[in-house]
Chains A and B, each alone.
Chain A
Amino acid sequence: MTAGRLVQWYKRPGETVRRGDIIAEVDTDKGAIDIEVFATGVLERILVQPGQKVPVGTPLAIIGEEAKGAAAPSAVPPTQPVPTVPSAEPAAEERMRQAIAAAVARSKREIPHFYLGTTISLQRATAWLADRNASRPVPDRLLMSVLFLKAVALALRETPDLNGRWEQGRALPNPAIHVGMAIALRGGGVVAPAIHDTDHCSLDELMKRSQDLVRRARTGGLRSSELSDPTITVTSLGERGVDTVFGVIYPPQVAIVGFGRIVDRPWVSGGQLVAHPVVSATLAADHRVTDGHRAALFLAAVDTLLQDPTRL
């Protein structure tokens, strides 16, 4: 993404804005994005008018006082490679394809990926989930993908080097864990917006938030922070399709976790051959940032957590 066109302002000069407020809509090659303000203060002056097209990083407005060092929100999140928002227009789809192409080409050009994989039994997780869902009305049921998101987030606490960015030649681990959830768009394209503070969300919260993200990813209305904040990505192919997915890291992130289809397979448990639902979990990681041993510890931690869903 190199530029954006300002579509409309939601606030006027003189109005008070609070951190997190959506103040403008910007059309980009990744679709329409809601621009959030990063500081609380007063919207003093608008610098970019509706219809104007400006380069990434251009200040859109000046936010004054109330908050010290209030920064002007920039046109679009800098360094943001994640594409977004579907559209019926071929032109928009083509632009999104170009944005994905730019991100993955940069990834494969710059990031020395290495890959690890393991097969995880979901016998306990499946039984726990079925039991829990049986006693709940339809809208409160959970999907296995939510357990995966939480297990990844909690495992990252033990291997923080996988959670963050690689920028200007060095690793910048992030103290907060914002898992990006890869969402396939109907008709092609993919977007991976963040679920903020994933490790602090309950499974119920994660379910609601992932449903909301899927809805907004497909109909528009993703927020700028959701696109700029992921510290790692999880791609979960669900119960159909393929056994294993080897992901391409979204720069500047340093890892992507993949979950394949959940299938019944022969499994040895307590010396007995039994059928278990299993899933292939993979990790693609940036070898500049971390090594095989650390990465293996991460996948092992995900496995351990999924063996005891009450910890999630």
Chain B
Amino acid sequence: MTRDAIRDAVLRILGGIAPEADLTKLRPDIPFRDQLDIDSMDFLNFVIALDKELRVDVPETDYSRITTLAGCVDYLSAQLGER
């Protein structure tokens, strides 16, 4: 999976969780939880969707690495690249 494809997948999932958000304005280097008003239940749903759609099971100890769009794409690329 290319980085662009991963990025698109992440944005699609975030769009499902925060349907009213304008994702074109999302800044990739700032935590999206603050930008999109995502609470802990939304974030868990995000992690569940990553597991379901990309087959990446992010352990809780790695949550801090996927809080920004850029960090999330880096993390997922590394995980998917190892396969």
Contacts and interface: CB of A to CB of B under 8 A. Distances in A.
Interface of A: 130, 133-134, 137-139, 141, 143-145, 184, 186-187, 210-211, 214, 238-240
Contacts of A240: 33-34, 39
B1 interface: no
Contact of B44 (A130, A134, A141, A187): A141
A203 B37 CA distance: 26
Given A186-B20, A240-B33, A137 B41 contact: no
B40 A143 contact: yes
A186 B60 contact: no
Interface stretch (B7-15, B22-30, B51-59, B71-79): B51-59
B20 A134 contact: no
Contacts of A144: 40
A138 B82 CA distance: 20
Nearest to B36: A186
B57 A214 contact: no
Nearest to A138: B51
B20 A138 contact: no
A161 to B, nearest CB: 31
Contacts of B48: 138-139
Contacts of B40: 143-145, 238-239
Given A138-B48, A141-B60, A187 B20 contact: yes
B32 to A, nearest CB: 12
Interface of B: 18-20, 33-34, 37, 39-41, 44-45, 47-48, 50-51, 57-61
Contact of A134 (B45, B50, B51, B59): B59
A210 B42 CA distance: 12
B20 A139 contact: no
A154 B47 CA distance: 30
Nearest to A237: B39
Contacts of B34: 240
A186 B37 contact: yes
Max chain A C-beta neighbours (<10 A), residue from B40, B47, B57: B40
Contact of B58 (A138, A139, A214): A138
28 contacts: A130-B60, A130-B61, A133-B60, A134-B60, A134-B61, A137-B51, A138-B44, A138-B48, A138-B51, A138-B57, A138-B58, A139-B48, A141-B47, A141-B60, A143-B40, A145-B41, A186-B18, A186-B19, A186-B20, A187-B20, A210-B41, A211-B41, A211-B45, A238-B39, A238-B40, A239-B40, A240-B33, A240-B39
Nearest to B17: A186
B47 A138 contact: yes
A186 B15 CA distance: 13
B37 A214 contact: no
Contacts of B37: 186
Nearest to B37: A186
B81 to A, nearest CB: 20
Nearest to A262: B40
Contacts of A210: 41
A258 to B, nearest CB: 15
Contacts of A145: 40-41
A68 B33 CA distance: 53
Contact of B41 (A139, A187, A214): A214
Contacts of A184: 39
B57 to A, nearest CB: 6
